[in-house]
């Protein structure tokens, strides 16, 4: 289903209006505020590709929002509905997200107006390589200046093609593969990147549930276990989030909304089986033991504890916001709640955990991947064996001192040297927790007058403004 663009307010206006609320609190110089909010540069490209004897012309964009830190960072989206305004809004979100998460990047985003499901693999490869050439030759893709990643409609495969194309154009750039993140591990990717956004969401929710007062403000209480979740989009982000929350935290995924409709089962849907079904059939229809609803978007209004929009932007808007019956909206997608809807949800005391924090796991682990690529060594390679040997020494010392054998399981834990996945998950967990604590602290500094979203933007704007002023504006 091609999403309709019948919203009164554009995506970038919606983001700007949210940022304005933070600017009003900070009372920043209006010129500086304007400089922070606008995109520094936007590239639009039109290019032809011959497919099965027919010439197709494609339109793509890459928006560079902020370069107060370099490289600028942001994914590439393939969608038939994408336009320049979306890309500019998404690039802005990247700037704020990196600042909130303490990731030392500026913000960027790219998009190609295409329905990837309508093209065969080989054709997609040629289109991607051609688009990459357009970006590289104009300075909108490189390890030092502008680094891409997967987004809606793209994944590891597209990143591998992009990295390879950049490498062919720049054979002497020793850091070539760092021009994109989210690559397959055997081509320079980092372990844990594929799951990172869903994993980050899980860590963020775990941290949120550690504060009973924040949980109580939503109308929920107790642990994560048993909480009823509705999720829209079972792609990279939605699938991993749903899988981890249900399999590891005991949450119940009571509804999944996809392109072709939604499935509901109050007892909880089996995420892995549903994901396989979706991949095999291209939709959710005909999945056993669940009620199928053809009107997918209406299922966003299901009564639940947590609603996780993990597909598209602006799916919660002024028309359906009055009917949303979740206690917490967890923004896994970028911009799923419009500015107007955000105000309605606030009035209705429905708490929102904002995209710029909640889905930042992807860019956090992308940062780790970029660092790994620049250092040309796998995380943990130097330390792992050393840690294991030290673990053995500790066990020996304890057993000698106590004349008792330690349980086997404990021994295994002590001698386990951290591998790359352990380190990536640990770094991600710590970053998500620290970011939430900071957002909570700022929210409380203003006596909880503002939302988590405004508190996040306050943090971002303060950091970006400081960077602009310290570097000097000329």
Phi, psi of 79 (to 5 degrees): -155, 145
Coil, strand or helix at 294: coil
Shortest CB 354 distance to ligand NAD, Å = 12
Task: Write out the binding residues for ligand NAD, residues 280-339 only, by CB under 6 A.
Answer: 296, 310-312, 332-334
196 vs 465 by CB, closer to ligand NAD? 196
In this structure, how many other beta carbons lie within 10 angstroms of the beta carbon of residue 469?
Answer: 11
- Mark 360-399 with x for binding to ligand NAD (rule: CB under 6 A) and - for no binding: --x-------------------------------------
Catalytic residue among 37, 73, 97, 109: 109
Does residue 109 carry a catalytic annotation?
A: yes
d(CA 388, CA 422): 14
Q: Is residue 98 close enough to count as binding ligand NAD by CB under 6 A?
A: no
Q: What are phi and psi of 54, to 5 degrees?
A: -120, 140
DSSP assignment of 218-279:
HT--S-STT-EEEEE--SHHHHHHHHHHHHHH--EEEEEEETTEEEE-TT---HHHHHHHHH
254 to 283: interface string for ligand NAD, x by CB under 6 A: ---xxx------------------------
Please tell me the distance from the alpha carbon of residue 449 to that of residue 354, in angstroms, as a whole number: 16
Asked whether position 192 contacts ligand NAD by CB under 6 A, the answer is: no
Give me the least distance between CB of 121 and ligand NAD, in Å please. Answer: 16
In whole angstroms, how close is the CB of 65 to ligand NAD at the nearest point? Answer: 15
Rank residues 331 and 340 by Cβ distance to ligand NAD and give the closer one. Answer: 331
Give the shortest CB-262-to-ligand NAD separation in angstroms.
Answer: 8
- Do the Cβ atoms of 374 and 114 come closer than 8 Å? no
Residues 111-140 that bind ligand NAD (CB under 6 A): none
E strands, 304-395, are 304-309, 326-330, 351-353
Which residues in 445-474 contact ligand NAD (CB under 6 A)? none
How many residues belong to the site for ligand NAD (CB under 6 A)? Answer: 26
Q: If you ran DSSP here, which 8-state letter would residue 192 be given?
A: T
Q: In the complex with ligand NAD, which residue's Cβ is closer, 28 or 63?
A: 63
Q: Is there binding between residue 3 and ligand NAD (CB under 6 A)?
A: yes
Q: Please report the sign of the dihedral spanned by the C-alpha atoms of residue 75, residue 76, residue 80, residue 84.
A: positive
Q: Which of 86, 88, 151, 429 binds ligand NAD (CB under 6 A)?
A: 151
Q: Omega of the bond prior to 71 within 30 degrees of 0, cis?
A: yes
Q: Left (φ > 0), alpha (ψ -120 to 50) or beta: where does 3 sit?
A: beta
Least Cβ distance, residue 325 to ligand NAD (angstroms) = 18
By Cβ distance, which residue is nearest to ligand NAD?
A: 235
204 binds ligand NAD (CB under 6 A): no
**Cβ neighbours, 10 Å, residue 223:** 14
CA dist 141 and 240 (Å) reads 28
Q: Give me the active site residues, please.
A: 109
Q: Contact positions toward ligand NAD, by CB under 6 A?
A: 1, 3, 150-153, 197, 232-238, 257-259, 296, 310-312, 332-334, 359, 362
């Amino acid at each position: 289903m091609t999403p309709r663009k019948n919203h009164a307010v554009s995506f970038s206006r919606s983001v700007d209006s949210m940022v304005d609320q933070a600017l009003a609190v900070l009372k920043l110089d209006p010129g500086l505020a304007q400089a922070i909010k606008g995109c520094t540069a936007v590239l639009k490209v039109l290019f032809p590709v011959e497919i099965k004897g027919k010439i197709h012309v494609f339109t793509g964009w890459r928006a560079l929002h902020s370069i107060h830190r370099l490289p600028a960072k942001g994914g590439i989206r393939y969608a038939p509905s994408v336009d320049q305004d979306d890309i500019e809004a998404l690039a802005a979100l990247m700037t704020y997200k990196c600042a909130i998460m303490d990731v030392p990047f500026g913000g960027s985003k790219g998009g190609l107006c295409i329905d990837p499901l309508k093209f065969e693999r080989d054709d997609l490869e040629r289109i991607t390589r051609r688009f990459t050439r357009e970006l590289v030759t104009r300075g909108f893709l490189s390890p030092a200046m502008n680094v891409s990643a997967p987004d809606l409609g793209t994944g590891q495969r597209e990143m591998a093609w992009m990295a390879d194309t950049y490498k062919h154009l720049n054979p002497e750039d020793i850091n070539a593969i760092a021009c994109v993140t989210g690559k397959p591990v055997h081509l320079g990717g980092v372990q844990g990147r594929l799951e990172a956004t869903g994993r980050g969401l899980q860590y963020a929710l775990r941290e949120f549930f550690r504060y009973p007062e924040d949980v109580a403000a939503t109308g929920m209480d107790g642990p994560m276990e048993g909480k009823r979740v509705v999720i829209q989009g079972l792609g990279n982000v939605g699938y991993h989030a749903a899988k981890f929350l249900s399999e590891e935290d005991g949450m119940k995924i009571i509804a999944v909304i996809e392109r072709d409709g939604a499935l509901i089962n109050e007892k909880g849907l089996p995420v892995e089986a549903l994901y396989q079904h979706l991949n095999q059939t291209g939709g959710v229809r005909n999945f056993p033991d669940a009620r199928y609803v053809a009107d997918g978007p209406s299922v966003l209004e299901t009564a639940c504890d947590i609603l996780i929009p993990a597909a598209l932007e602006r799916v919660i808007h002024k028309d359906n916001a009055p009917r949303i019956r979740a206690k917490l909206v967890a923004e896994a997608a970028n911009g799923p709640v419009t500015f107007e809807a955000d105000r309605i949800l606030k009035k209705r005391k429905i708490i929102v955990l904002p995209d710029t924090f909640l889905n930042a796991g992807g860019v956090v682990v992308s940062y780790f991947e970029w660092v790994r690529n620049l250092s040309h060594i796998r995380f943990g390679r130097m330390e792992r064996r050393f840690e294991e040997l030290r673990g053995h020494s500790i066990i020996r010392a304890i057993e000698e001192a106590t004349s008792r054998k330690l349980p086997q399981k404990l021994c295994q834990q002590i001698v386990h040297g951290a591998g790359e996945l352990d380190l990536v998950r640990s770094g991600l967990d710590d970053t998500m927790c620290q970011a939430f604590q900071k957002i909570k602290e700022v929210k409380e500094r203003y006596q909880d007058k503002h939302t988590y979203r405004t508190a996040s933007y306050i943090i971002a704007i303060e950091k970006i403004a400081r960077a602009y002023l310290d570097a000097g504006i000329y």
